[in-house]
A and B are shown apart, each in its own frame.
Chain A
Amino acid sequence: DAGVIQSPRHEVTEMGQEVTLRCKPISGHNSLFWYRQTMMRGLELLIYFNNNVPIDDSGMPEDRFSAKMPNASFSTLKIQPSEPRDSAVYFCASSFGTTVSYEQYFGPGTRLTVT
């Protein structure tokens, strides 16, 4: 199994530009999570989906952030417009079940730098 796949691995963009991060979960997994990791705030859950449906987006910082999961094998996290404070490592994770008892499998992350 290839594991959770994220692209791009690194993204450098200028303030004000649109950024799209992509994630392919493990085949057969029913839940997908987007996290952000920074030194200051640690690991934060942004949003998660069960069976392609958004369940909790309370961690999304503001309206500049949006996430979609059009099918079971693909999800995107979009930032528009981007700001320097969005610089972080963004992780996608997936799990087999839809309850919290199932372990999550993390992708390698996308390191975003906004200048």
Chain B
Amino acid sequence: AQSVAQPEDQVNVAEGNPLTVKCTYSVSGNPYLFWYVQYPNRGLQFLLKYITGDNLVKGSYGFEAEFNKSQTSFHLKKPSALVSDSALYFCAVGISNFGNEKLTFGTGTRLTIIP
């Protein structure tokens, strides 16, 4: 079984400060890891993914995430937060399982950037 945990329901960061949204996962095998963002009354929007290769992945809007196999983590980071980054962030994990492949999403972390 695969699972993902987002330990913080809410993260508050001052504008201009670096931000981190945490994610840990549990899978049997090599994971595929994703971050999505959801703005109010909108669907989820893809930010970035780790499939293989470089552990540091760069994505949209200046976000990046680092895959850490030993700690089974995939934390989302940004060097300087913007007020417009305020949204709900979801981490998701999947594995290659020929014939039946699906993502498991975390419960989400609400990020609030304080002006």
Contact = CB atoms under 8 A, between A and B. Distances in A.
Interface in B40-59: 41-46, 49, 51
B103 A100 contact: yes
Interface in B65-107: 90, 94-97, 99-107
Contact of A100 (B44, B90, B95, B108): B95
B25 interface: no
B101 A43 contact: no
Nearest to B95: A100
Given A43-B90, A56-B100, A99-B101, A91 B44 contact: yes
A101 B43 contact: no
A99 B108 contact: no
A77 B102 CA distance: 18
A103 B103 CA distance: 10
Which bracket fits the contact residues of B? 20 to 34
B92 to A, nearest CB: 9
Contacts, number: 56
Given A42-B108, A91-B44, A106-B43, A101 B96 contact: yes
Contacts of A33: 102
Contacts of A101: 32, 49, 51, 94, 96
Interface residues of A, number: 21
B102 A56 contact: yes
A67 interface: no
B34 interface: yes
Interface of B: 32, 34, 36, 41-46, 49, 51, 90, 94-97, 99-108
Interface of A: 4, 33, 42-43, 45, 48, 55-56, 91, 93, 98-101, 103-109
Given A99-B96, A100-B96, A103-B46, 9 more contacts: A4-B43, A42-B107, A43-B90, A43-B108, A98-B101, A100-B103, A103-B34, A108-B43, A109-B43
